[in-house]
Amino acid sequence: MQQIGGAGLLKSALLGRCPQCGRGHVFLGLLDIQPACSVCGLDLSAHDAGDGPAMAGIFLIGAIAVILALWVDARFEPDLWVHAVIWPVVVLPLSLLVMRLAKAMLLGLQWRHRGTQ
């Protein structure tokens, strides 16, 4: 088994790759985890990130969105409908991106520290 360090785990998470081999794809679609790595056969279904990725999205993107919304409101004083149009377009893709990254990172950390094969 190849041992990947912290930088390797971060790189594999950023690329959505298997934490063990760094080549197989972790995701089946946008956020679903593949049952197993197609390259090395690592059982990915044994790892469950739970609510961790959602919490990362809520805390990170929520804080960024509130700060930006307050700044936009103070700076430009737009009508409320402008906020209603802008923020879903900004928040939804960023939330999906953060959840995807957090899910891959948590999967890699679980693989590394739990040692599940």
Does 40 interact with Zn ion (rule: CB under 5 A)? yes
Copy the structure tokens of residue 37. Answer: 């790595």
Contact characters 76-95, Zn ion, x per CB under 5 A: --------------------
User: Does 13 participate in binding Zn ion (rule CB under 5 A)?
Assistant: no
Asked whether 104 and 27 are in contact (CB, 8 A), the reply is: yes
Q: Choose between 99 and 111: whose C-beta lies nearer to Zn ion.
A: 111
DSSP class of residue 4 equals P
Number of residues interacting with Zn ion: please give it, by CB under 5 A. Answer: 8
Span interacting with Zn ion, options 13-21, 59-67, 76-84, 86-94, rule CB under 5 A: 13-21
Taking Cα atoms as reference points, which of 14, 12, 53 lies closest to residue 32?
Answer: 53
Among candidates 107, 1, 16, which has minimal Cα distance to 53?
107
Residues of this chain that interact with Zn ion (CB under 5 A) are 18, 20-21, 24, 37, 39-40, 42
